[in-house]
């Protein structure tokens, strides 16, 4: 790349730094992929298009990056408290040891990247100013080597103090993506950023693609940590101050950072695009930005149509996942996740998604409206907006098998070495039957072991705890009975996962 393509815009930015820290933004809820994606277990934690979850695929995406750069082995992952345990477990499963920044509240991507920049700088040895490669946790990339080439191109701009983003030359007029209007072309093949454009209507999207002057906004950014912090301080001083205070007052334990909640809750909420990137082209901006082309089979998987676009199809344009039978179907996406058979006959341009507790049927041209549907479900206070029937917990998961007036049946699976909190219920009693594994039970002042086919009874109002002391998963059937069976009828006295309040 020609050196005169890159302007040094921040004092001290000319000092070369070849250290790269991957930042994964994992705070979204993915409502457009309902019913697979739910508030408490969103799409980034799910295997939407492959054997790995989207988060796991993102964690490993920098492996094999050019060896002339020093890529930190520990990515920084920013997520909410409700997803932090699942995030750590999925990282463990794929052999990654991240630094997890646990947001006390959702404040969108600009504060999230600011917290990540502070974490990266505080972890840098010898005062290094690392280059951050920020990527959302819910994207798909078909050609990882092509992604690496685009990141290396962007990193050269970032070395000199510019803020780079990756733009995707569009292959169709898609209304589900944001767009970047291209400015002057540089000799390297990158462009100056003219402006960012929100998701357009179909006619306008077609005009953008036909003009050749717009690329899709990938949501991936490459920037030096100090440059990002300086830009946030310049354009969004209140956000910068709140993040600095939250980082300073936060706590660090092992592999996680918990910023101070009161300070961060007062932080303005804004996206990277609005807070900083849209400001770069203004005449009085001391910062410059570039957009680097990314042609790597990218998709943000923001809707079921995007999932269909990203997957291999049969000769009739269909995608089938799970127990699915197609007869005379064309351009159909069908997914069976709840174990039932899904049969599609003569369907065209449809999305059919089945889970344990919900079924979605939608025209592919209307999948963006799923977000509004989820809002309606939430207003009706229906549980399907937030939770799956199978609910993940730090110790394992439970599956609500059946329920009725004054009773509920759950299948509970506790991971080896894990334990539930020491707790008590005001309104329900519980019967436990061990299906497999060994249970260590605390009931009042008693403590005893249960093995396969043995059972016990937990009376209402009695302190109790369930532990798995073995080396295989513990599976029990729990029958709850009482006047009220909600999950908020739990009083915790001791908990290994910090959930006592």
* Nearest alpha-carbon partner for 162 in 135, 189, 185, 191: 191
3-class SS shares of the chain: helix, strand, coil, % to 5 = 25, 35, 40
Say which residue, 282 or 214, is predicted with more confidence: 214
- This prediction's pTM: 0.88
pLDDT of residue 29: 79
Boundaries of every domain in the chain = 16-302, 305-378, 390-494
Say which residue, 228 or 300, is predicted with more confidence: 228
Is the pLDDT at 252 greater than 60, yes or no? Answer: yes
- Mean residue pLDDT of the chain comes to 91
The pairs formed by 42-46 with CB atoms below 8 angstroms and a separation of 24 or more are: 42/83, 42/138, 43/138, 43/301, 44/137, 44/138, 45/83, 45/86, 45/87, 45/90, 45/392
Is the pLDDT at 210 greater than 70, yes or no? Answer: yes
pLDDT of residue 282: 81
For the stretch 9-67, pLDDT in tens is 344 444 567 889 999 999 887 899 999 999 889 999 999 988 899 999 999 999 989 77
* Nearest alpha-carbon partner for 159 in 72, 219, 226: 226
Same fold, 16-302 and 390-494: no
For the stretch 386-426, pLDDT in tens is 888 998 999 999 999 999 999 999 999 999 999 999 999 99
Secondary structure class of 410 (helix, strand, coil): strand
Question: Using CA atoms, how far apart are residues 301 and 355, in angstroms rounded to an integer?
Answer: 19
Tokens for 223? 């920037």
Question: For 16-302, which CATH class?
Answer: alpha beta
Number of Cβ within a 10 Å radius of residue 373: 17
390-494: CATH number: 2.60.120.10
For the stretch 160-169, pLDDT in tens is 899 999 999 9
Q: How far is CA 243 from the centre of its chain?
A: 21
Cis? peptide before 35, omega within 30° of 0? yes
Read off the pLDDT of each residue in 327-354 and give the average, rounded to a whole number. 96
For the stretch 96-149, pLDDT in tens is 999 999 999 999 999 999 999 999 998 876 678 999 999 999 999 999 999 999
For the stretch 66-95, pLDDT in tens is 778 888 889 999 999 889 999 999 999 999
* Nearest alpha-carbon partner for 358 in 342, 345, 372: 342
Alpha-carbon separation of residue 244 from 116, 124, 248, 264, 266 (angstroms): 11, 17, 6, 9, 12
Residue 352 banded pLDDT, cuts 50, 70, 90: very high
Q: Which sign does the torsion angle of CA 266, 269, 273, 274 carry?
A: negative
Question: Using CA atoms, how far apart are residues 15 and 11, in angstroms rounded to an integer?
Answer: 9
């Amino acid at each position: 790349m020609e050196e005169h393509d890159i302007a040094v815009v921040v004092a001290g930015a000319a000092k070369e730094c070849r250290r790269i820290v991957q930042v994964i933004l994992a705070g979204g809820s993915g409502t457009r992929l309902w019913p697979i994606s739910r508030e408490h277990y969103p799409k980034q934690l799910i295997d939407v298009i492959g054997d790995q979850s989207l988060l796991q695929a993102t964690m490993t995406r920098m492996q094999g990056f050019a060896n002339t750069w020093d890529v930190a082995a520990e990515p920084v992952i920013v997520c909410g408290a409700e997803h932090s345990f699942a995030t750590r477990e999925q990282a463990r499963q794929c052999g990654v040891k991240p630094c997890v920044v646990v947001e006390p509240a959702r404040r969108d991507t600009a504060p999230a990247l600011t917290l990540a920049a502070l974490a990266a700088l505080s972890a840098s040895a010898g005062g290094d100013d690392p280059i951050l490669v920020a990527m959302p946790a819910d994207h798909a990339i078909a050609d990882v080597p092509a992604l690496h080439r685009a990141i290396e191109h962007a990193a050269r701009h970032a070395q000199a103090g510019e803020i780079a983003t990756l733009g995707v030359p569009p292959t169709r007029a898609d209304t589900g993506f944001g767009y970047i209007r291209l400015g002057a072309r540089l000799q390297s093949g990158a462009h100056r950023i003219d402006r960012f454009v929100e998701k357009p209507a179909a006619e306008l999207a077609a005009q953008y693609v036909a003009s050749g002057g717009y690329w899709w906004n990938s949501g991936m950014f490459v920037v030096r940590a100090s440059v990002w912090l300086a830009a946030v301080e310049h354009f969004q001083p209140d956000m910068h101050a709140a993040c600095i205070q939250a980082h300073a007052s936060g706590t660090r334990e092992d592999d996680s950072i918990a910023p101070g909640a009161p300070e961060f809750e007062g932080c303005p909420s804004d996206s990277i695009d609005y807070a900083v990137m849209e400001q770069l082209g203004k005449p009085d901006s001391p910062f410059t930005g570039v957009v680097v082309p990314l042609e790597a089979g990218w998709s943000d998987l923001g809707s079921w149509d995007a999932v269909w676009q990203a997957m291999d199809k049969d000769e009739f344009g269909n995608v089938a996942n799970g127990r699915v039978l197609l007869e005379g179907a064309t351009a159909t996406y069908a997914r069976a996740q709840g174990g039932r058979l899904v049969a599609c006959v003569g369907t065209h341009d449809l999305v059919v998604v089945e889970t344990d507790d919900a079924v979605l049927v939608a025209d592919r041209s209307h999948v963006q409206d799923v977000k509004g549907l989820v809002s309606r479900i939430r207003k009706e206070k229906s549980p399907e907006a937030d939770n799956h029937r199978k609910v993940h917990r730090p110790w394992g998961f439970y599956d609500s098998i059946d329920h009725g007036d004054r009773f509920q049946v759950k299948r509970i699976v506790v991971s080896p070495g894990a334990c539930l909190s020491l707790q008590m219920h005001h309104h329900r009693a519980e019967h436990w039957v061990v299906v497999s594994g060994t249970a260590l039970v605390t009931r009042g002042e008693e403590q005893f072991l249960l093995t396969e086919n043995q059972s016990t009874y937990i009376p209402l109002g009695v302190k109790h705890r369930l532990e798995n002391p073995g080396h295989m998963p513990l599976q029990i059937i729990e029958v709850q009975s009482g006047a009220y069976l909600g999950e908020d009828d739990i009083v915790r006295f001791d908990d290994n996962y910090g959930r006592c309040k």
